[in-house]
């Protein structure tokens, strides 16, 4: 766009080699990174990193890199999966790895039917809260140049009685990546005159692409942010599946204690912490705990709320249910309100009840709505009478129990898990519900295989680091595992870092234009909230 400085130069260097070629070796915080005065070449026998650096505005820089490894030789193969049982639901499930007894028996069965299996030992990544050593054994058959050949082989194995799926070995955590396309935005709040904000663009029920929001807001840099509802069965699409606050207002409650990025005072104060939230409705002397904001009562995407079933613990991409549930809807909820059994109270801007009765309708401008099911419906019916006032007190707390106070220029976006803490790789994958050490059918591909990812971090200078890596592109960019994402963020000097929503949601826009290649076949995915770096005139 006219009037914006754009200084671009080419840099060839070895950057974060261990992070993108091996999950085993941590990368030091002083690893070489391209900067305004850093144009040098570091040779490596197999790995080459090519970077360009663009100054988007004073205090805002975007680095675009491609890392290739000529030693990597990924192919298509067929994985034979192990039968297991979901620990959450008790339903039959399949796992990419299994115990040795299963692997030995399966390999013997494969040989007896004329196949030539190979068995690989897969270790746990160095998460902070999972076992060490052997995770399980993986059984595979064949090596193919094309996906079609692997699909045909998988069909033959299925016909022979095995549960088989074609896979690209470039996504494996135990093999080096072939190619990675990475973008790194560095924003220095000390010199940048604009603002950094998490935004749902005023409507928590609308999904928009990151680039369309960026273009609308005249954003310098934008990335996708937190997890959100994508299917009607899990709630209202676009609403957050975790903590979200915009312009100082809490618009979604936490899923247990999970990682969050706090952008205080328009991004002048940035911190990362594991945050929880709570709320209480008070009518006279009667009180009832509010367990949700802007979600369907009884439906909790990613779980993590008291009374949720099958778990009060956070579980990624799992929808829990609640029998007794009181939910607040704010004026940012623009869709029709949920209907069904239960009760509701409509409140004006002062908290005075203007109507009470069955669920439905819309949230009045400047007002709010309380909906209850189960015992919460009984509480509303008994205590929420027209003309009375109902107050809702909301609190966000960090891991030390300290309140996180929200001002009008503050925002919070959240995801999971933590990647780097106090300068050390510290991935609490089980605690934040993205893997389950007792159920290898849950979270294996999400966490331990290479995926498109979006990350956020802060360094010793207080700068915000926003990173995207493209993935799910066999023969192209393959993405990061969680362990590789943490290593990469640490290599950028991040003292704190978290994993944001990824997969098909991963997107970065610069000057309102999409600059990465999302993995969804239909193009850029419309998402819930985003993080936008905005020039001063737009806020």
User: 332, 366, 397 — which closes off a domain?
Assistant: 397
Can you tell me the distance from the alpha carbon of 209 to that of 529, in angstroms, rounded to the nearest whole number?
A: 9
Residues 58, 85 within the same domain: no
Residues 357, 238 within the same domain: yes
Per DSSP, 45 falls in state S
Q: Is residue 199 part of a domain?
A: no
Residues 457, 430 within the same domain: yes
Residues 320, 432 within the same domain: no
Can you tell me the distance from the alpha carbon of 520 to that of 506, in angstroms, rounded to the nearest whole number?
A: 10
Burial class (CB in 10 A: 0-12, 13-18, 19+), 505: buried
Q: Is residue 213 part of a domain?
A: no
Residues 64, 81 within the same domain: no
Can you tell me the distance from the alpha carbon of 289 to that of 266, in angstroms, rounded to the nearest whole number?
A: 31
User: 397, 430, 459 — which closes off a domain?
Assistant: 397
Can you tell me the distance from the alpha carbon of 270 to that of 533, in angstroms, rounded to the nearest whole number?
A: 13
Q: How far is CA 17 from CA 126, 172, 177, 507, 511, in A?
A: 18, 17, 10, 23, 29
3-state secondary structure (DSSP) of residue 133? coil
Per DSSP, 448 falls in state I
* pTM across the whole model: 0.92
3-state secondary structure (DSSP) of residue 181? strand
Residues 378, 253 within the same domain: yes
Structural domain for 298, as ranges: 227-397
pLDDT digits (tens, 9 = 90+) for 210-242: 999 999 999 999 999 999 999 999 999 999 999
Residues 183, 272 within the same domain: no
Q: Is residue 222 part of a domain?
A: no
Can you tell me the distance from the alpha carbon of 44 to that of 530, in angstroms, rounded to the nearest whole number?
A: 37
Task: Tell me what pLDDT residue 45 has.
Answer: 72
Task: Tell me what pLDDT residue 44 has.
Answer: 65
Residues 67, 80 within the same domain: no
Residues 465, 488 within the same domain: yes
Residues 33, 85 within the same domain: no
Q: Is residue 216 part of a domain?
A: no
Q: Is residue 237 part of a domain?
A: yes
Please give the tally of structural domains in the chain. Answer: 3
Cα angle 376, 381, 382; round to 5: 95
User: 397, 427, 445 — which closes off a domain?
Assistant: 397
Residues 111, 239 within the same domain: no
Q: Is residue 207 part of a domain?
A: no
**Element containing residue 17 per DSSP (H, E):** helix 17-21
Residues 427, 312 within the same domain: no
Structure-token match 């801007």, residue found: 349
Q: How far is CA 520 from CA 239, 320, 370, 517, in A?
A: 20, 26, 36, 9
Question: Within 13 Å, how many C-alpha atoms sit on residue 143's CB side?
Answer: 6
Q: Is residue 200 part of a domain?
A: no
What dihedral do alpha carbons 314, 316, 319, 321 form, nearest 10°?
Answer: -10
Q: In this structure, how many other beta carbons lie within 10 angstroms of the beta carbon of residue 120? A: 14
Residues of the chain with confidence (pLDDT) below 70: 1-44, 537-539
Q: Is residue 305 part of a domain?
A: yes
Task: Tell me what pLDDT residue 5 has.
Answer: 39
Q: In this structure, how many other beta carbons lie within 10 angstroms of the beta carbon of residue 280? A: 14
Strands 117-123 and 134-144: antiparallel
The alpha helices in 28-169, defined as continuous H runs, are: 100-112, 147-159
Structure-token match 């339903």, residue found: 91
């Amino acid at each position: 766009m006219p009037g914006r400085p754009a200084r671009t130069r080419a840099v060839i260097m070895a950057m974060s080699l261990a992070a993108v070629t091996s999950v085993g070796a941590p990368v030091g915080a002083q690893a070489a990174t391209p900067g305004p005065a850093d144009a040098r070449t570091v040779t490596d026998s197999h790995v080459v990193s090519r970077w360009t650096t663009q100054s988007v505005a004073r205090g805002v820089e975007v680095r675009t890199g491609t890392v290739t490894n000529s030693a990597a030789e990924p192919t298509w193969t067929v994985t034979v999966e192990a039968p297991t049982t979901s620990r959450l639901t008790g339903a039959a499930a399949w796992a990419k790895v299994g115990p040795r007894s299963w692997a030995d028996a399966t390999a013997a069965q494969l040989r007896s039917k004329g196949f030539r299996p190979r068995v690989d030992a897969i270790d746990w990544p160095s998460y902070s809260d999972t076992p060490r050593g052997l995770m399980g054994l993986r059984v595979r058959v064949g090596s193919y140049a094309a996906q079609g050949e692997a699909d045909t082989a998988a069909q033959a194995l299925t016909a022979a009685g095995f549960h088989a799926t074609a896979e690209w070995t470039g996504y494996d955590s135990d093999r080096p990546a072939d190619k990675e396309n990475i973008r790194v935005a560095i924003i220095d709040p000390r010199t940048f005159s604009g603002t950094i904000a998490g935004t749902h663009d005023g409507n928590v029920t609308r999904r928009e692409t990151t680039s369309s929001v960026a273009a609308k807001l005249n954003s310098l840099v934008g990335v996708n942010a937190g997890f959100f509802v994508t299917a009607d069965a899990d709630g209202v699409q676009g609403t957050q599946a975790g903590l979200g606050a915009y312009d100082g207002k809490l618009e979604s409650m936490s899923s247990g204690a999970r990682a969050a990025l706090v952008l205080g005072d328009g991004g002048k104060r940035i911190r990362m912490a594991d945050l929880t939230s709570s709320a209480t409705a008070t009518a006279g002397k009667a009180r009832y705990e509010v367990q949700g904001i802007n979600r369907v009562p009884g439906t909790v995407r990613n779980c993590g709320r008291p009374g949720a079933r099958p778990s009060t613990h956070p579980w990624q991409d799992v929808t829990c249910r609640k029998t007794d549930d009181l939910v607040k809807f704010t004026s940012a909820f623009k869709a029709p309100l949920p209907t069904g059994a239960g009760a509701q109270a409509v409140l004006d801007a002062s908290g005075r009840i203007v109507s009470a009765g069955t669920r439905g309708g819309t949230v009045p401008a400047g007002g709010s709505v309380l909906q209850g099911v189960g015992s919460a419906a009984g509480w509303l019916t008994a205590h929420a009478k027209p003309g009375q006032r109902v107050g809702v007190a909301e609190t966000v707390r960090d891991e030390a129990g300290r309140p996180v106070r929200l001002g009008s220029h503050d925002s919070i976006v959240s995801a999971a898990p933590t990647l780097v803490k106090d300068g050390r790789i510290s991935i609490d994958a089980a605690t934040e519900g993205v893997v389950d050490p007792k159920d290898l059918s849950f979270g294996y591909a999400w966490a331990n295989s290479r995926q498109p990812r979006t990350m956020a971090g802060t360094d010793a200078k207080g700068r915000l680091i926003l990173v995207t890596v493209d993935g799910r592109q066999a023969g192209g960019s393959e993405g990061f595992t969680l362990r590789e994402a943490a290593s990469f963020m640490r290599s950028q000097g991040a003292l704190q870092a978290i994993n944001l929503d990824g997969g098909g949601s991963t997107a970065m826009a610069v000057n309102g234009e999409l600059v990465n290649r999302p993995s969804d076949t239909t193009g850029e995915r419309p998402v819930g909230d985003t993080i936008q770096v905005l020039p001063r005139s737009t806020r």
